[in-house]
Chain A
Amino acid sequence: MTAGKASATDRILLSHGEGGKRTRELIGTVISRYFSNPVLAPFFDSGLLGRIDGEIAFTTDGHVVSPAFFPGGDIGRLAVCGTVNDLAVCGARGIAISCGLVLEEGLPIETLERALAAMRDAAAEAGVLVACGDTKVVEKGKGDGIFITTAGVGVMVDGWRPSPEAVRPGDRILLTGTMGDHYVAVLVARQRLSLSAPVLSDVAPVGGMILPLLERFGSRVRFMRDPTRGGVGVTLNEMASSAKARFVLDEERLPVRESVRGVCEILGFDPLYLANEGKALLIVDPSAAEDALAALREHPLGREAAIVGTVEEGAPGVRMRTLAGGLRAVDYPVGDQLPRIC
């Protein structure tokens, strides 16, 4: 499986990270087989991106996930999508990303290759180059197989800026699909709770779905976030405080997959607080909301998009109109949810 000379060993050794011959071998015979583009190819100390026309967005994201491979995705795909999605929700089309690998001694090179292949495919899907990289190796027991850090550079859609201060009562809150798929897929893959559920992670690059809306609706799309860690509940709280606005969700309209609901009922979790990796939350002027929703639903990643709430007059924060017709607060949770009996 592993290529050429690097296969003197089929596992990562400390010497793969020490900058000598083995490092060269790993880059030359493994990594460069997945990332071959004119920017990376010369292996200068920096990737030379040339002149870029437009406003630049820049972001970084560290990726640790256990297990590294789970239904619907893996750490490689996550590392690309996490960063390009952070660019996309700021209105930027990703151009280039970096790839910082921290590998644990003993990691099968085949596992590394699977992650690299997934990064390559996700980068192609998102339309970004992997422009530079770095590899370090930590002693066995000091890492969890593989950690990946990516930074990304993107160009903003012309004339668009995230504008939380422009949010007004009456604006609509759009969510591009079901909640909690990523979290539940990883939780189930961990197998610690002996659950099985047909849930795939939603990890995907969302730029292709949401950036065209900015070109079409301009500042009628006020601002966007991707509801990753902490889920829709936490992200909306952060959005409401930056917009100094009161968001009121409609419980009935919040999309949740049946199997994700099943896991939540069993463990006592609230899908509002579960991580997503291929979703976006958008605050949209009411005059554009229905058209934006229709456009989202035409995209393969947005078929289950919904208008999930409205910005209303009142003290900043997040409220929910419940299925039962009551009103309640949606607050920040304390840490991760834990399976409970009560």
Chain B
Amino acid sequence: MKFIDEFRDPAAVRALVEKIRRDAGDPPMRLMEVCGTHTASIARSGLRSLLSGAVSLVSGPGCPVCVTPDGYVDAAIALGHKPGITLTSFGDMLRVPGKRSTLEKERAKGIDVRVVYSPLDAVALAAAEPDREIVFLGVGFETTAPAIGGAIRTASDRKLKNFSVLPSVRTIPEAMAILARDPEIRIEGFLCPGHVSVVIGTQPYEELASKHHIPCVVCGFEPLDILLAVSMLLRQKKEGAARVENAYPRGVAPEGNRKAREVIAEVFAPCDTGWRGIGVIPGSGLRISDRYAAFDAERKHGVPVIFAMEDTPCRCGDVLKGKILPPECPLFGKACVPEEPVGPCMVSTEGTCAAYYKYGGGLR
């Protein structure tokens, strides 16, 4: 397939892996793949086994499902139990544990949850079923925020009264800055999230490079993209440099997508928000702006999302911060498995724990 298969070419992958192994230092450079799709792609393509010993890849907080607090799931469930409400969601959210239950389990008890591919499908559903209140579970980062915003704007233009969004939208650079400042984490290079960067461009990473002296390379999602970005980070280390580079030029323009950012600016407003396992990060969230308050499910239906740090032996927080690898958590593979996840990192396909469990972390 065009723009896919060229970037999976086995011969090129092999050559690049050899090159990385030759250039790798000792101890291995400690890199963080911020984005969960990177985590999943690395695991699925077996890159972790190819790179083991050459670079140390730790996974960051870049899976929106994983960092969505359990209070959000609880609020969604509470909404779903109100009469007349239909919840719509990306498939990822269905098995995410709240404090006591999941949307999948509550669906079996009778709440109406429908999986959609696009937020616009939820708007179409609202138009088709005017007697139901359609609530979209708007989870995502900067990549998805414009799509959620676009859906809200569409519903507003169409004057739909029965559509609202329960937002759980976060922005990545603020979280990366927190991780960069944490001396325990010791990140030596960031693989920056490619599709977030499609929207925000490369500029937001400049401070990480200049202030924290951490090399940053924007990275695509095919095996060659990831290996290229790893090589570029190794090269920066060798040079003693810390700059922002773009290994995903076919997707990411340095200035990002202005139109998408305009939609975000119109529909959302920045706020402080809690990240599951990490805590509240100032300015890292997007709430629905007052202009579109009528489409904010939290305000419309009076179901607040309450954030509290969980009291649990689950170490997803440390996994999300790259402090430990999943097998170092006492629950991993025992009390916490994909069928009955304790922590969110085990839920999403791109959750770090799930990727480790499913594809085998340091597999021989």
Nearest chain B residue, comparing its CB with the CB of A252: B10
| Contact across chains for A326 and B10 when beta carbons are under 8 A apart | no
Contact with A along B59-79 (1 / 0, CB 8 A): 000011100000000000000
Q: Does B17 contact A (CB under 8 A)?
A: yes
Bound: A261/B1 CA distance, A:
9
| Contact across chains for A328 and B91 when beta carbons are under 8 A apart | no
Residues of A within 8 A of B64 (CB): 341-342
Tell me, rounded to whole Å, the shortest Cβ–Cβ distance linking A118 to chain B.
30
Which among B37-45, B171-179, B278-286, B287-295 touches the partner chain? Answer: B37-45
Say yes or no: A342-B92 contact (C-beta < 8 A), given A324-B46, A326-B50, A328-B46: yes
CB-CB contacts below 8 Å: B50-102 with A: 50, 63-65, 90-92, 94-95
Residues of B within 8 A of A329 (CB): 358-360, 363
Bound: A321/B359 CA distance, A:
12
Tell me, rounded to whole Å, the shortest Cβ–Cβ distance linking B192 to chain A.
16
Tell me, rounded to whole Å, the shortest Cβ–Cβ distance linking B200 to chain A.
17
Instruction: Identify B338's interface contact among A328, A334, A340, A342, CB under 8 A.
Output: A334
Which among A35-43, A206-214, A262-270 touches the partner chain? Answer: A262-270
Q: Does B223 contact A (CB under 8 A)?
A: yes
Q: Does A291 contact B (CB under 8 A)?
A: no
Say yes or no: A342-B350 contact (C-beta < 8 A), given A325-B17, A328-B43, A331-B357: yes
| Contact across chains for A194 and B121 when beta carbons are under 8 A apart | yes
Residues of B within 8 A of A265 (CB): 1, 4
Bound: A321/B47 CA distance, A:
11
Q: Does B301 contact A (CB under 8 A)?
A: no
Nearest chain B residue, comparing its CB with the CB of A337: B91
Q: Does A62 contact B (CB under 8 A)?
A: no
Say yes or no: A258-B1 contact (C-beta < 8 A), given A328-B44, A340-B91: yes
CB-CB contacts below 8 Å: A224-278 with B: 252, 258, 261-262, 265-268, 270
Residues of A within 8 A of B50 (CB): 324-326
Q: Does B246 contact A (CB under 8 A)?
A: no
**Max chain B Cβ within 10 angstroms of own Cβ: one of A270, A323, A334:** A334
Nearest chain A residue, comparing its CB with the CB of B354: A334
Q: Does A197 contact B (CB under 8 A)?
A: no
Q: Does A15 contact B (CB under 8 A)?
A: no
Nearest chain A residue, comparing its CB with the CB of B147: A341
Residues of B within 8 A of A320 (CB): 46
Q: Does A66 contact B (CB under 8 A)?
A: no
Tell me, rounded to whole Å, the shortest Cβ–Cβ distance linking A13 to chain B.
30
Bound: A270/B144 CA distance, A:
22
| Contact across chains for A342 and B363 when beta carbons are under 8 A apart | no
Residues of A within 8 A of B104 (CB): 335
Bound: A153/B149 CA distance, A:
58
Say yes or no: A323-B1 contact (C-beta < 8 A), given A329-B358, A334-B339: no
B contacts with A, residue count (CB < 8 A): 46
CB-CB contacts below 8 Å: A289-342 with B: 319-329, 331, 334-335, 337-342
Say yes or no: A340-B13 contact (C-beta < 8 A), given A322-B44, A326-B48: no
Tell me, rounded to whole Å, the shortest Cβ–Cβ distance linking B75 to chain A.
20
Contact with B along A49-88 (1 / 0, CB 8 A): 0000000000000000000000000000000000000000
Tell me, rounded to whole Å, the shortest Cβ–Cβ distance linking A321 to chain B.
8
What's the dominant secondary structure at chain B's contact region? helix
| Contact across chains for B140 and A341 when beta carbons are under 8 A apart | yes
Bound: A102/B305 CA distance, A:
45
Residues of A within 8 A of B167 (CB): none
Q: Does B261 contact A (CB under 8 A)?
A: no
Residues of B within 8 A of A340 (CB): 90-92, 348-349
Residues of A within 8 A of B210 (CB): none
Tell me, rounded to whole Å, the shortest Cβ–Cβ distance linking B30 to chain A.
20
Instruction: Identify B46's interface contact among A268, A326, A337, CB under 8 A.
Output: A326
CB-CB contacts below 8 Å: A197-226 with B: none
Residues of A within 8 A of B121 (CB): 193-194
Residues of B within 8 A of A328 (CB): 43-46, 48-49, 359-360, 363
Tell me, rounded to whole Å, the shortest Cβ–Cβ distance linking A301 to chain B.
26
CB-CB contacts below 8 Å: B1-26 with A: 1, 4, 8, 10, 13-14, 17
Instruction: Identify B349's interface contact among A193, A194, A268, A324, CB under 8 A.
Output: A268
**Max chain A Cβ within 10 angstroms of own Cβ: one of B46, B48, B339:** B46
Bound: A193/B121 CA distance, A:
8
Nearest chain B residue, comparing its CB with the CB of A267: B117
Q: Does B303 contact A (CB under 8 A)?
A: no
| Contact across chains for A338 and B144 when beta carbons are under 8 A apart | no
| Contact across chains for B8 and A323 when beta carbons are under 8 A apart | yes
Tell me, rounded to whole Å, the shortest Cβ–Cβ distance linking B143 to chain A.
8
Tell me, rounded to whole Å, the shortest Cβ–Cβ distance linking A183 to chain B.
15
Residues of B within 8 A of A194 (CB): 117, 121
| Contact across chains for A334 and B46 when beta carbons are under 8 A apart | no
Contact with B along A173-200 (1 / 0, CB 8 A): 0000000000000000000111000000
Tell me, rounded to whole Å, the shortest Cβ–Cβ distance linking A339 to chain B.
5
Tell me, rounded to whole Å, the shortest Cβ–Cβ distance linking B55 to chain A.
14
Residues of A within 8 A of B223 (CB): 323-324
| Contact across chains for A326 and B36 when beta carbons are under 8 A apart | no
Bound: A109/B25 CA distance, A:
73
Tell me, rounded to whole Å, the shortest Cβ–Cβ distance linking A231 to chain B.
15
Residues of A within 8 A of B359 (CB): 328-329, 331
| Contact across chains for A322 and B363 when beta carbons are under 8 A apart | no
Q: Does B309 contact A (CB under 8 A)?
A: no
Tell me, rounded to whole Å, the shortest Cβ–Cβ distance linking A219 to chain B.
32
**Max chain A Cβ within 10 angstroms of own Cβ: one of B64, B65, B91:** B91
**Could you list some 29 contacts between A and B, CB below 8 A?**
A192-B115, A193-B117, A194-B117, A262-B1, A322-B44, A323-B10, A323-B45, A323-B223, A324-B45, A324-B46, A324-B223, A325-B50, A326-B46, A327-B46, A327-B364, A328-B43, A328-B46, A328-B360, A334-B338, A335-B104, A337-B91, A338-B91, A340-B92, A341-B92, A341-B144, A342-B36, A342-B64, A342-B90, A342-B349
What is the interface of chain B, defined by CB distance below 8 A to chain A?
Answer: 1, 4, 8, 10, 13-14, 17, 36-37, 43-50, 63-65, 90-92, 94-95, 104, 114-117, 121, 139-140, 144, 223, 338-339, 348-350, 357-360, 363-364
5 interchain residue pairs of minimum CB distance: A326-B46, A338-B91, A329-B360, A322-B46, A328-B359
